[in-house]
Amino acid sequence: MAGWKACATAVVSECAPVSSRLPLGRPHSFAVRVSIRNLTKRFGPAWALERISLEIESQELFFLLGPSGCGKTTLLRTLAGFYQPDSGELFFGDKPVNGVPPHQRNTGMVFQNYALWPHLTVADNVAYGLEVRKVSTAERMRRVAEALAIVQMEPFADRTPNQLSGGQQQRVALARALVIQPDVLLLDEPLSNLDAKLRLEMREEIRRIHAQTKITTIYVTHDQKEALSLAHRMAVLRDGHIEQLGTPRAVYRHPVNRFVADFIGETNWLSATVRGCDGGEMTVETDGGVFVAATELSKSPGEKVWLGFRPEAVEIGTDSVNALDTRIAHVSYLGEIEQYRLAMPSGALVKAFEQNPRELRQVGAPLRVHVRPQNCLVLPE
């Protein structure tokens, strides 16, 4: 019920005069830059957000990613105006919005549970925000049709939400947020109620809709694949602060610490001792042997570090560097990949993924693998 009320508030948020607006399907000239400066939010003694600073570019598809309780939803709700920050400043473009009530921020919000009016048709759900804003009937009909066309739900305009699938309901929720032509679109785990296949389809839909509308979009999720596949940039949050900010590629390939590396994917970690550093390469000694890693990190011989590599970076076959003699401890065939757990002579296990597996390998068989230096991570211990 609370989510529903919040949604209604967002939907009816204030909008610039209709005549000054571009049709939805064209790049949205009203998309704004969002500036978050030193934002702090507490619930009682607990910090939900601790001095968060972020610049989200106009027309960016930006992700807030992190485990449960890290503060993602609190940040999104603070942007929408449902929560007041304890300190810090928020700007939409050049306009400070700290004191601006939710219905005047011109944000559109989409919730995990769709939050559609059950007794209204699809068209009436989408039209609701425009009616409240007293947009003329002709204009309302035009904009509802346009928003439904963007989410490809025109044929369902006369149905009620209980006559729609979960994915269709989420499309309606998106149309309802888009129809008000928001400056900023806020998506709170919009796909988490959908099954795996539908989630993949809706990911593509969101990418397409963003490319079409170019609305500055802030998307909250704990699903790293969703963020990696869609985000222009992302912030990884933990305990109310930002651990890392960057493009999906940068965050995945160059995580700043083990938390980010492990949250954004799987990593094998070996405790290592530095032997030497030379010209962007570090040689380290591990239980599994000597490794050479491409890294900008500079450490002195004898210092302890973590050597990491992703399971997909483990290649079957020999190579002159970073070779590991292992024995297969566990095999799991998943069609497009085969997942292995490989035991090193020390007994420690490493995970390896083989793409397009063709060979049947038995548990207990020896397997020589290697990891290229450019696929190794080195982090301070």
- Residues forming contacts to ligand ATP in the complex (CB under 6 A) are 43, 46, 48, 66, 68-74, 222
Q: Report, in Å, the least distance between residue 280 CB and ligand ATP.
A: 37
Distance CA 166, CA 170 (A): 6
> Would you say 126 and 176 are in contact if contact means Cβ atoms under 8 Å apart?
yes
| Among the listed residues 253, 255, 291, 252, the one whose alpha carbon sits nearest the alpha carbon of residue 270 | 291
State which residue, 146 or 188, has the beta carbon closest to ligand ATP.
188
Cβ count within 10 A of residue 334: 9
Q: Report, in Å, the least distance between residue 64 CB and ligand ATP.
A: 8
Q: Report, in Å, the least distance between residue 352 CB and ligand ATP.
A: 30
How big is the CA angle at 33 (ends 150 and 105), to the nearest 5 degrees?
70
Tell me if residue 116 falls in helix, strand or coil: coil
State which residue, 10 or 48, has the beta carbon closest to ligand ATP.
48
Q: Report, in Å, the least distance between residue 230 CB and ligand ATP.
A: 17
Name the CA dihedral angle for 81, 85, 88, 91, rounded to a multiple of 10 degrees.
Answer: 0
- Helices and strands per DSSP (H, E), number in the chain: 9, 20
Q: Report, in Å, the least distance between residue 151 CB and ligand ATP.
A: 25
> Would you say 42 and 204 are in contact if contact means Cβ atoms under 8 Å apart?
no
> Would you say 292 and 372 are in contact if contact means Cβ atoms under 8 Å apart?
no
Q: Report, in Å, the least distance between residue 73 CB and ligand ATP.
A: 3
State which residue, 60 or 188, has the beta carbon closest to ligand ATP.
188
> Would you say 123 and 117 are in contact if contact means Cβ atoms under 8 Å apart?
no
Cβ count within 10 A of residue 192: 14
E runs forming strands in the chain: 34-43, 46-56, 61-65, 87-92, 95-96, 107-110, 184-188, 216-221, 233-238, 241-246, 268-278, 281-286, 289-294, 304-309, 314-316, 323-333, 337-343, 349-355, 366-371, 376-380
State which residue, 66 or 357, has the beta carbon closest to ligand ATP.
66
Q: Compute the 3-state secondary structure of the chain and give helix, strand, coil in percent, each to the nearest 5.
A: 30, 35, 35
Q: Report, in Å, the least distance between residue 74 CB and ligand ATP.
A: 3
State which residue, 73 or 286, has the beta carbon closest to ligand ATP.
73
State which residue, 43 or 333, has the beta carbon closest to ligand ATP.
43
Distance CA 321, CA 312 (A): 17
Q: Report, in Å, the least distance between residue 336 CB and ligand ATP.
A: 29
State which residue, 68 or 300, has the beta carbon closest to ligand ATP.
68
State which residue, 75 or 116, has the beta carbon closest to ligand ATP.
75
